[in-house]
Structure 1
Amino acid sequence: MLSSRTPNKVGEFMKVVAIIQARMGSTRLSGKVMKDIKGKTVLSHVIERVKQSKLITDIIIATTVLERDSVIDMEAIKCGAKVFRGSEDDVLSRYYYASKENNADVVVRITSDCPVIDPFVIDEIITFYLKGKYDLVTNAGSDITQRTYPRGLDTEVFSIESLEASFINAKEKHQREHVTPYIYENSNKINYFKNDIDYSKHRWTVDTKEDFELITEIYDKLYKGNHDFHLNEIIELFKQDPNLFSINAHIEQKKTK
Structure 2
Amino acid sequence: MTLFLVKRLTPTLSWVIDYALISSMTKIVAIIQSRQGSSRLPGKALKPLFNGKGALELMLQRVAPSKKVHQFIVATTRSESDNAIESLCKQLEVACFRGSEEDVLDRYFEAAKLVKATHIVRLTGDCPIQDYEVIDRLVSSFFEDDLDYAANAITPTYPDGFDAEIFTMETLKLLKEKATKPSEKEHVTPYIHSHPELFKIKNVSFNRDVSHLRLTLDTIEDFDVLQKLAPLVFGGTEYCHINSILDYLDSHPSLLEINKKYERNEGYKKSLEKDLNN
Query: Which residue does the alignment assign to 1:219?
Result: 230
* 1:154-193 equivalence runs, <5 A: 154-188=163-197, 189-193=200-204
- Kindly indicate whether residue 225 of structure 2 is the aligned counterpart of residue 208 of structure 1: no
Which residue identity lines up with residue 73 of structure 2 in the other structure? I
Query: Is residue 2:42 matched to residue 1:30?
Result: yes
**Structure 1: runs of 5 or more not aligned:** none
1:3–1:95: structure 2 CA closer, same or farther, 3 Å change rule?
farther
Q: For 1:99, what is the secondary structure of its paired residue?
A: helix
Runs of 4+ in 1 over 4 A off after TM superposition: 2-6
Deviation at 1:3, TM superposition (A): 8.2
Q: Paired residues, what number?
A: 253
Task: Name the Cα RMSD after superposition.
Answer: 1.9
Look up the equivalent residue of 1:212 and give its one-letter code.
F
Give SS of 1:251's match: coil
- Alpha-carbon distance change, 185 to 96 in structure 1, aligned in 2, over 3 angstroms: same
Answer whether contact 1:3 1:55 (CA < 8 A) is retained.
no
For 1:76 and 1:12, locate their aligned partners in 2 and report how far apart those are by CA, in whole Å: 28
Q: Note if 1:9 corresponds to 2:18.
A: no
SS of 2:243's equivalent in the other structure is helix
Gaps of 5+ in 2: 1-7, 273-278
Q: Distance in 1 between matches of 2:39 and 2:214?
A: 18
- After TM superposition, the score normalised by the length of structure 2 is 0.86
Could you tell me which residue of structure 2 aligns to residue 153 of structure 1?
A: 162
In the alignment, structure 1 residue 249 sits paired with structure 2 residue 260: yes
Cα distance between partner residues in 2 of 1:179 and 1:92: 5
CA distance in 2, matches of 1:180, 1:207: 20
Aligned to 1:199: 210
Residues 130 and 3 (structure 1 numbering): CA distance in 2 closer, same or farther, change over 3 Å? farther
Counterpart of 2:5? none
Q: How does 1:40-59 map to 2 (within 5 A)?
A: 40-59=53-72
> Counterparts of 1:244 and 1:65 in 2: how far apart (Å)?
36
Contact 2:225 2:259 in 1 (8 A): yes
Instruction: Give the 5 Å matches for 1:135-146.
Output: 135-141=148-154, 146=155
Q: Residues 109 and 172 of structure 2 are in contact (CA less than 8 Å); yes or no, is this contact kept in structure 1? A: yes
Q: What letter is aligned with 1:224?
A: G
Question: Structure 1's 10 and 238: CA in aligned 2 closer, same or farther, altered over 3 A?
Answer: closer
Equivalence for 1:76: 89
Matched residues in 2 for 1:120 and 1:52: separation? 9
Aligned-pair distance for 1:121?
A: 0.7
Q: Aligned pair 1:67/2:80, yes or no?
A: yes
Which structure carries more strand by proportion? 1
> Does the CA contact (< 8 Å) of 1:138 and 1:154 recur in 2?
yes
Partner residue, 1:125: 138
Q: TM-score, normalised by structure 1?
A: 0.93
Following superposition, the deviation at residue 202 of structure 1 comes to 0.7
Q: Measured at CA, do residues 68 and 246 of structure 1 come closer, stay the same or move farther in structure 2, by a change above 3 Å?
A: same
